[in-house]
Amino acid sequence: MCGIVGYVGSRDAASLIYEGLERLEYRGYDSAGLAVISNGRIEVRRDAGKISSLRALLQTSPVEGTIGVGHTRWATHGKPCARNAHPQLGSTGEVAVVHNGIIENYLELQKELAEQGVQFKSETDTEIIVQLVERHLAQGFSLSEAARRVIARLEGAHAIVLISAKEPDRLVVARLGYGGGVTIGIGDGEMFLASDIPAILNHTRQMVFLEPGQYAVIQRDKLEVHLLNGESIPVKVQTVEWESGSADKGTYDHYTLKEINEQPYTIASTIGGRVDFTAGQIRLPELNLTPEKAARIKRIIITACGTAAHAGMVGKILIERIARLPVEVDIASEFRYREPIVDEDTAVIAISQSGETADTLAAMAEARKRKAILWGIVNAIGSQAMRMADGCIPMKAGPEIGVASTKAYIAPLVDLYMLAVLLAEMRGNLEPAQRMTLVRNLYTLPDLVSECVARQSDVQSVAPLLKDIEHCLFMGRGIQMPTAYEGALKLKEISYIHAEGYPAGEMKHGPIALIDREMPVVAIVTRDPWYEKMIGQVEQVKARGGLIIAVATDGDERIPEIADEILWVPDIPWMLSPVTAIIPLQLLAYQTALLRGADVDQPRNLAKSVTVE
Ligand code: AGP
């Protein structure tokens, strides 16, 4: 949701913080700012708009110091403007705070402070934190003790960082609920702090991941971690293996295009070390799955948000077809409040790229409370979801910076395919020959994905058809129904065209009334068990004068007779076909967004990780 960076050491804090914020801009870009302790005073530079506004400010009004905090904002309370930008100061100007989250009881706290005569300077809920901390400091408490007491009064999920001119050698950081992640980087005589690994990965690989209900006191050569009751706990340092350059844009114009092009490597990486093509075996060691546990599972619930939920829809078909286990897909923001019927024989699989999505984490907590087997298919190393789960399938897709999820959509598709095969084998309902075929189908998948990525020019002639439209329908059936949902989400979130994914069989129950030349229909008609049905649906649209853009399998001779435009994909075993069919739709959304001058990597109103409700 928001991006936070902190530094304490002997180097120039402002430049290091600014560099980190640039790497976190995908987390929110309504405003940006930083605060540095300089000659015993807190100096703040902040402005509405993207990080480039802050760069201009720092050039015209530089600030020197070796300790500070920075923030990029995704506005929740108070419109995006300089006054509401973080860092927020209190009345004395001696304390600065940056915050990721929503204070759910802020009206009550705001009223209490107003009655004490506080004159608020912003419309944010965040300002309450620093006003309350100042009151505790005035009573003689240390910054960390003041922070601890204030945090205990806040409801909701938060990541909070405070600095004080009275204690100019330390940052205090706290994590409450499933608020945005807090990663502490340990350097040589310096310490870093960030919402996400990419912001500090080029300075250190030694990381500490703060858990909800913990706070830390960070000095340049000392780190203490505490529970909210003040008790000190051991510091757990992890080494992050990501390639530091992997979070850079490289030669690409946009992270989104880079990440679409990375997909062959993504597939190779998520398969790597997990498939024995000779023996026809799948190994998912981090899942901690035993034949006994596999036999005990009576049903599976997949819970996630957005693109991750669409991957779950594909997983439902794969697990039911291969492992013969009933699967439900439940949107996390619904699951968490439904009082779901879940018990110890239910496996709940949470899918999340960031591992920090508030709704998904809350759904996981709900599943945990009801004693389900809790698994995560997660990309971000050290994220909350990865740590909460009983077992995990790391997506191994590397950092995904573009807000529109691409490689972190196809990676879980393959992870779910491998899970289905493993479950089937452990439950004894897969013949060895069948298993061998399913496993060996993975062998050529990276090359097939590479072939799809190489066909970028195919969309060049199609994107202009969508450039000026306002609405678009995507339809698919069976294994490709989720592809229709995901293709529509890609188009809408980066080009701002109203696009809707629909089960093709549902078109005659209403949506077909919308069909005319102004409402293009993207139909996924690849070779699979639903192909004949899909041909019929496309003909129904054609008969009503619809403009049809089809995703079709190489060599198909019927589609050219009915579709206006075709995006070809190579032939592939149908259970893996969603992995390739989505790629031309990712590219189509990207090209269309470019033609419309949209901000591809940082679409308006969105953020890469939605860490609040
Ligand atoms: C996908 O392109 C969107 N950015 C969004 O739907 C995203 O998939 C969703 O917010 C879930 O994020 P997560 O995978 O990090 O949990």
Mean pLDDT, residues 424-452: 93
State whether 183 and 225 are in the same domain: yes
Better-predicted residue by pLDDT, 588 or 26: 588
DSSP designation for 360: H
Å from CA of 330 to ligand 1 middle: 15
State whether 431 and 495 are in the same domain: no
Residue 92, number of CB atoms within 10 A of its CB = 15
Number of domains in the chain: 3
Å from CA of 317 to ligand 1 middle: 21
Helix axes 445-454, 263-271, angle to 10 degrees: 170
pLDDT for 248: 72
Q: Residue 254: pLDDT above 80?
A: yes
> Domain of 518?
454-599
Percent of the chain, pLDDT > 70?
Answer: 97
Is ligand 1 within 6 A of the CB of residue 384? no
pLDDT for 1: 59
Mean pLDDT, residues 548-571: 96
pLDDT for 241: 78
Mean pLDDT, residues 257-283: 92
Mean pLDDT, residues 207-232: 95
Domain boundary among 202, 226, 247: 247
Report the alpha-carbon distance of residue 589 to residue 597 in Å, rounded. 12
pLDDT for 232: 96
Q: For residue 448, tell me if it sits in a domain.
A: no
Helix axes 127-138, 143-151, angle to 10 degrees: 130
State whether 400 and 267 are in the same domain: yes
Domain boundary among 196, 229, 247: 247
Mean pLDDT, residues 1-20: 93
CA of 414: how far to CAs of 167, 332, 337, 445, in Å? 50, 21, 29, 9
CA of 75: how far to CAs of 50, 317, 358, 372, 463, in Å? 13, 38, 16, 35, 32
Q: Residue 82: pLDDT above 90?
A: no
Highest mean pLDDT among 123-127, 279-283, 490-494: 490-494
Report the alpha-carbon distance of residue 174 to residue 162 in Å, rounded. 9
pLDDT for 180: 67
Is ligand 1 within 6 A of the CB of residue 495? no
pLDDT for 197: 86
pLDDT for 592: 97
Å from CA of 541 to ligand 1 middle: 31
DSSP designation for 559: H
The model's pLDDT over 543-556, given as tens digits with 9 standing for 90+, comes to 988 899 999 999 99
- Ligand 1, pocket-test mutation among 331, 357, 613, most atoms within 8 A of CB: 357
Contacts of 577 (CB under 8 A, 6+ apart): 479, 480, 526, 527, 528, 569
pLDDT for 157: 76
Q: Is the dihedral of CA 224, 247, 33, 220 positive or negative?
A: positive
Q: CATH code at 590?
A: 3.40.50.10490
Instruction: For ligand 1, atom 7, name the residue with the nearest CA.
Output: 306
Q: CATH code at 218?
A: 3.60.20.10
Nearest to 77 by CA among 103, 54, 96: 103
Q: For residue 581, tell me if it sits in a domain.
A: yes
Mean pLDDT, residues 305-334: 97
pLDDT for 183: 93
**Positions marked catalytic:** 2, 608
Nearest to 481 by CA among 498, 497, 501: 501
State whether 393 and 276 are in the same domain: yes
Strand 167-176 relative to strand 214-219, pairing: antiparallel
The rounded radius of gyration (Å) of the Cα atoms in the chain is 25
State whether 380 and 419 are in the same domain: yes
Q: For residue 606, tell me if it sits in a domain.
A: no
DSSP designation for 448: H
The model's pLDDT over 506-532, given as tens digits with 9 standing for 90+, comes to 988 989 899 988 889 999 999 999 999
State whether residue 89 is helix, strand or coil. strand
Distance from the Cα of residue 268 to its chain's centroid: 21
Instruction: For ligand 1, atom 9, name the residue with the nearest CA.
Output: 306
Mean pLDDT, residues 239-262: 83
Is the distance from CB of 240 to CB of 185 less than 8 angstroms? no
- Sheet order of strands, 391-394 included: 327-331, 299-304, 346-352, 373-378, 391-394
pLDDT for 474: 98
Domain boundary among 231, 247, 263: 247
Q: Residue 604: pLDDT above 90?
A: no
Longest dimension (CA), the chain: 80
The model's pLDDT over 323-361, given as tens digits with 9 standing for 90+, comes to 999 999 999 999 999 999 999 999 999 999 999 999 999
pLDDT for 250: 77
State whether 85 and 175 are in the same domain: yes
Ligand 1 atom nearest the C-alpha of 490 is 2
Q: Residue 290: pLDDT above 70?
A: yes
Amino acid at 512: I
State whether 432 and 499 are in the same domain: no
3-class DSSP string for 40-76? CEEEEEEEECCHHHHHHHHHHCCCCCCEEEEEEECCC
Å from CA of 489 to ligand 1 middle: 10
State whether residue 609 is helix, strand or coil. coil
Report the alpha-carbon distance of residue 259 to residue 397 in Å, rounded. 9
Is ligand 1 within 6 A of the CB of residue 36? no
Residue 99, number of CB atoms within 10 A of its CB = 30
Report the alpha-carbon distance of residue 290 to residue 145 in Å, rounded. 46
CA of 228: how far to CAs of 152, 210, 211, in Å? 7, 12, 11
State whether residue 82 is helix, strand or coil. helix
Structure tokens at 230: 């003040």
Q: For residue 386, tell me if it sits in a domain.
A: yes
Q: For residue 611, tell me if it sits in a domain.
A: no
Is ligand 1 within 6 A of the CB of residue 609? yes
Is the distance from CB of 303 to CB of 330 less than 8 angstroms? yes
Is ligand 1 within 6 A of the CB of residue 88? no
Q: Based on the number of CB atoms within 10 Å of its own CB, is 387 exposed (0-12), middle (13-18) or buried (19 or more)?
A: middle
Is ligand 1 within 6 A of the CB of residue 357? yes
pLDDT for 606: 80
Q: What is the residue-averaged pLDDT of the chain?
A: 93
Q: Residue 252: pLDDT above 70?
A: yes
State whether 425 and 460 are in the same domain: no
State whether 492 and 593 are in the same domain: yes
Q: Residue 75: pLDDT above 70?
A: no
Structure tokens at 439: 């496993």
The model's pLDDT over 370-402, given as tens digits with 9 standing for 90+, comes to 999 999 999 998 889 999 999 999 999 998 989
The model's pLDDT over 296-306, given as tens digits with 9 standing for 90+, comes to 999 999 999 99
Structure tokens at 478: 């069976």
pLDDT for 344: 95
Better-predicted residue by pLDDT, 519 or 82: 519
Å from CA of 564 to ligand 1 middle: 32
Which of left, alpha, beta for 259 (phi over 0: left; psi -120 to 50: alpha)?
Answer: alpha
- Ligand 1, pocket-test mutation among 178, 354, 599, most atoms within 8 A of CB: 354
Is ligand 1 within 6 A of the CB of residue 256? no
Structure tokens at 340: 């779901």
Quickly tell me which residue has 């039911």 as its tokens: 320
Å from CA of 332 to ligand 1 middle: 12
Is ligand 1 within 6 A of the CB of residue 475? no
Å from CA of 483 to ligand 1 middle: 15
Q: Name the phi and psi angles at 512, rounded to 5.
A: -65, -15
State whether 533 and 506 are in the same domain: yes
Is ligand 1 within 6 A of the CB of residue 352? yes
- Sheet order of strands, 183-186 included: 41-48, 31-38, 67-73, 3-8, 191-194, 183-186, 206-209, 238-239
Q: For residue 608, tell me if it sits in a domain.
A: no
Is ligand 1 within 6 A of the CB of residue 263? no
pLDDT for 77: 67
pLDDT for 19: 94
pLDDT for 246: 67
Q: How many CA atoms lie within 13 A of 121 on its CB side?
A: 15
pLDDT for 247: 67
The model's pLDDT over 21-43, given as tens digits with 9 standing for 90+, comes to 988 776 667 789 999 999 999 99
pLDDT for 76: 64
pLDDT range class, residue 585, cuts 50, 70, 90: very high
pLDDT for 555: 94
Q: Residue 245: pLDDT above 70?
A: no
pLDDT for 582: 98
pLDDT for 244: 60
pLDDT for 242: 73
State whether 313 and 372 are in the same domain: yes
State whether 324 and 390 are in the same domain: yes
